[in-house]
């Protein structure tokens, strides 16, 4: 049998993150004392009232197919969230509930991009964006940013990258992996340019609620009706409500795009899990008092990690303003990021994600979605490792 793999699948890059992660897990299983900085998810439990709502839904038999784009109650609760928190008016029909924010991103790219289209992605990027673009047959165009600009693209950079083939610009503020947050002025300038050039924006706002230092959060869609017409907002329950395993995300799009995504979803995955959707309703309409507690804890860890990283000779690190990641610059050590991470895991049993996975070989990604005790232990080891080089 010739197991011919379709080009679209064969051309995907395998995930370096997963390679490091599975090695770390294997070492842990063998009884080794591994400190993991790889987590891309909160270390807090899903708030109880959300779990209760899903349990009650199961008990009540809410276990069947729902409309493929989500139950009306949840789509309305999401539309209300955009009105309340972002000043954005959407009809429930413009909201599509999906199996996670990742699925929402994929739906957007699949519904809007095809062969010959270019998609502009700032690096360091969330590693799935370029692979999704390739799956859609389109071409990723990477805009490199560095810690010198807090990993933000400038309008000049974006303008120079836009061609007649540009279909989509992917904006991820707050960013995974860098944790950087664009100011409202910076976002508006990028949005103005996309409106002028008639380029769609996919704005991945999943870390919206994880903000530090009083950074002002503004969606690119919210500057004018024209900005909203050029923007698809991707969001989800994974990060601010710690619901990564529930697979529940959503998007808000101009009507024609929402209709196209509805069709894609109805023929691929159908609806997201019925009782998870009831949990989603509880997440949006219930108390939000977990957030200030989580944020205070993340902020404490972030400050510690940021200071400790900068105290290590050969490492510099800009502070993050959002999400739960830091990306220390390791270029002064002379090691490439994959080599650095492999040796760090081998020698000191610390798992971090090499920046090469995010298109940025001078950096590592350190997640502080783990206890302060773990962070202290892991960064002490990192310190020892770098000094030994």
Ligand X SMILES: *Cc1c(COP(=O)(O)O)cnc(C)c1O
Binding site for ligand X (CB under 6 A): 40, 100-102, 126, 172, 176, 204, 206, 236, 238-239, 244, 249
The smaller minimum CB distance to ligand X, of residues 239 and 308, is found at: 239
With respect to ligand X, which residue has the nearer C-beta, 188 or 239?
A: 239
Q: Which is nearer to ligand X, 101 or 328 (CB)?
A: 101
- Specify the 3-state DSSP secondary structure of 100: coil
Could you tell me if 298 and 210 are in contact, meaning their C-beta atoms sit under 8 angstroms apart?
yes
CB atoms within 10 A of CB 223: 18
Question: Taking the CB of residue 110, how many other CB atoms lie within 10 A of it?
Answer: 20
What distance in Å separates the CA atoms of residue 173 and residue 167, rounded to the nearest whole number?
A: 19
Minimum Å distance from CB 228 to ligand X?
20
Min separation Cβ 333 and ligand X, Å: 26
Tokens for 10, please give them.
């064969």
- Minimum Å distance from CB 41 to ligand X? 7
Question: Cβ 250 to ligand X, closest distance in Å?
Answer: 9
Bond into 124 cis (ω within 30): yes
Smallest separation (angstroms) from ligand X to the CB of 106? 9
Minimum gap (Å) between residue 343 Cβ and ligand X = 26
- What is the C-alpha to C-alpha distance for residues 177 and 268, in angstroms, rounded to an integer? 29
Nearest Cα to Cα of residue 282 among 100, 53, 97, 66: 53
Cβ proximity to ligand X: between 41 and 186 the closer is 41
Alpha carbon distance 85, 147 (integer Å)? 30
Closest contact distance (angstroms) between CB of 204 and ligand X is 5
Nearest to 358 by CA among 314, 326, 313: 326
Q: Is 68 in contact with 270 (CB distance < 8 Å)?
A: yes
Closer CB to ligand X, 147 or 204, in the complex: 204
Supply the minimum distance, in Å, between the C-beta of residue 244 and ligand X. Answer: 5
Q: Which residue, 17 or 331, has its beta carbon nearer to ligand X?
A: 17
Minimal distance, residue 205 CB to ligand X, in Å: 9
CA nearest to 201, candidates 164, 229, 176: 229
Nearer to ligand X, 104 or 329 (CB): 104
User: What tokens does 178 get?
Assistant: 């860098």
Which residue lies nearer to ligand X by CB, 204 or 361? Answer: 204
Q: Which residues pair with 143 in a beta bridge?
A: 122
The nearer residue to ligand X, 172 or 320, going by C-beta atoms, is 172
Q: Is the Cα dihedral 249, 253, 256, 257 positive or negative? A: negative
Q: Tell me the two tokens of residue 52.
A: 């209760």
Structure-block tokens of residue 171 = 């904006």
From the CB of 176, what's the least distance to ligand X, in Å? 4
Q: Residue 296, exposed/middle/buried by CB under 10 A (0-12, 13-18, 19+)? A: exposed
Give the nearer residue to ligand X in terms of CB position, either 57 or 132. 132
Query: Is 75 in contact with 97 (CB distance < 8 Å)?
Result: yes
Please choose, from the candidates 239, 152, 157, 254, the residue with its C-alpha nearest in 3D space to the C-alpha of residue 201. Answer: 254
């Amino acid at each position: 049998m010739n197991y011919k793999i379709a080009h679209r699948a064969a051309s995907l890059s395998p995930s370096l993150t997963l390679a490091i992660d599975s090695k770390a897990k294997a070492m842990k299983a063998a009884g080794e004392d591994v400190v993991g900085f790889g987590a891309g998810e909160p270390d807090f439990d899903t708030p109880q009232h959300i779990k209760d709502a899903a349990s009650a839904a199961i008990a009540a038999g809410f276990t069947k197919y729902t409309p493929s784009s989500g139950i009306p109650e949840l789509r309305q609760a999401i539309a209300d969230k955009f009105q309340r928190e972002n000043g954005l008016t959407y009809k429930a029909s413009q909201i599509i509930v999906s199996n996670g924010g990742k699925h929402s991103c994929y739906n957007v790219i699949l519904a809007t991009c095809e062969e010959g289209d270019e998609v502009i992605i700032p690096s360091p990027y969330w590693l799935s964006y370029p692979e999704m673009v390739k799956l859609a047959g389109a071409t990723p165009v990477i805009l490199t940013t560095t810690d010198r600009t807090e990993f933000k693209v400038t309008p000049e950079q974006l303008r120079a990258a836009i061609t007649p083939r540009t279909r989509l610009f992917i904006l991820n503020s707050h960013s995974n992996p860098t944790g950087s947050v664009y100011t409202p002025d910076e976002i508006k300038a990028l949005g103005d340019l996309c409106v002028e050039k008639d380029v769609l924006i996919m704005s991945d706002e999943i870390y919206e609620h994880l903000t530090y230092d009083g950074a002002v959060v503004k969606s690119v869609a919210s500057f004018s009706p024209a900005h909203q017409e050029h923007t698809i907002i991707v969001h989800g329950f994974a990060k601010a409500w710690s619901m990564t395993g529930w697979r529940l995300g959503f998007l808000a799009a101009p009507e024609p795009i929402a209709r196209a995504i509805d069709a894609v979803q109805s023929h691929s995955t159908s609806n997201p899990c019925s009782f998870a959707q009831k949990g989603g309703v509880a997440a949006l309409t219930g108390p939000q008092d977990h957030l200030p507690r989580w944020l205070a804890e993340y902020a404490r860890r972030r400050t510690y990690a940021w200071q400790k990283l900068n105290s290590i000779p050969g490492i510099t690190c800009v502070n993050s303003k959002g999400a739960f990641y830091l990306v220390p610059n390791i270029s002064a050590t002379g090691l490439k990021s994959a080599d650095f991470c492999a040796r760090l895991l081998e020698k000191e049993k610390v798992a971090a994600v090499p920046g090469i996975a995010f298109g940025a070989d001078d950096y590592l990604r350190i997640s502080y979605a783990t206890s302060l005790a773990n962070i202290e232990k892991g960064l002490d080891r990192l310190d020892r490792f770098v000094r030994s080089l």
